[in-house]
Amino acid sequence: MIEIRIHGRGGQGNVVAAYFLAMAAFEVGRHGQAFPAFGAERRGAPVVAFVRIDDQPVRRRCQVLEPGFLIIQDEALLHVPGVLDGLQAGGRILVNSTRDSAELSAEFGIEMTALPAGAMAKEILGRPVPNTALLSAFLNLTGLLPQEALVKTLAHRFKGGVLEKNTRLVEAAAEKVEAGAWTASV
């Protein structure tokens, strides 16, 4: 079972990202589970969402305490105690940041992959919502699910020009990372 924890802030599409990832698993015949954990429910407050993907039905119902992957939608959350806790040995971290991956990794003493997801979304969608770009990069890095599964999932929620822009964002984000770089971790 693959377990993923997504950290973000209210309004960044954190919970939607978790649901999209689980739905993408269903698109290819796998099993997925997604659910959030809220603190104070307000825009800008830290939000955590959890995703599990497996070839078997997912029966575990607890929070993901030892993820294989972390997706961080706001670089500032790296300074919040507990955000990096529990990452499995060999686990991977994807961060929405305009900074260089090596610079972030050196600062926190753990390997991270940075993607300017918010800036990309602002340019393509007109809004700095990083979730779609981060999911696309994550899928390209891991090979866990095909990009087409994410696009099909997006098509359940968006239509017309909004879907076209999100599809462009998926393609642009996938091009920014090395395909399959994390396949050994899956």
Give per-residue pLDDT as tens, 127-162: 999 999 999 999 999 999 999 999 999 999 999 999
Q: Are the C-beta atoms of residues 151 and 158 closer than 8 Å to each other?
A: no
Instruction: Say what the pLDDT of residue 169 is.
Output: 98
* Fold for the domain defined by 2-185: Pyruvate-ferredoxin Oxidoreductase; domain 3 (3.40.920)
Of 90, 41, 85, residue with least CA distance to 64: 85
pTM: predicted TM-score of the whole model, two decimal places: 0.95
User: Is residue 21 predicted with pLDDT exceeding 70?
Assistant: yes
Q: Are the C-beta atoms of residues 90 and 137 closer than 8 Å to each other?
A: no
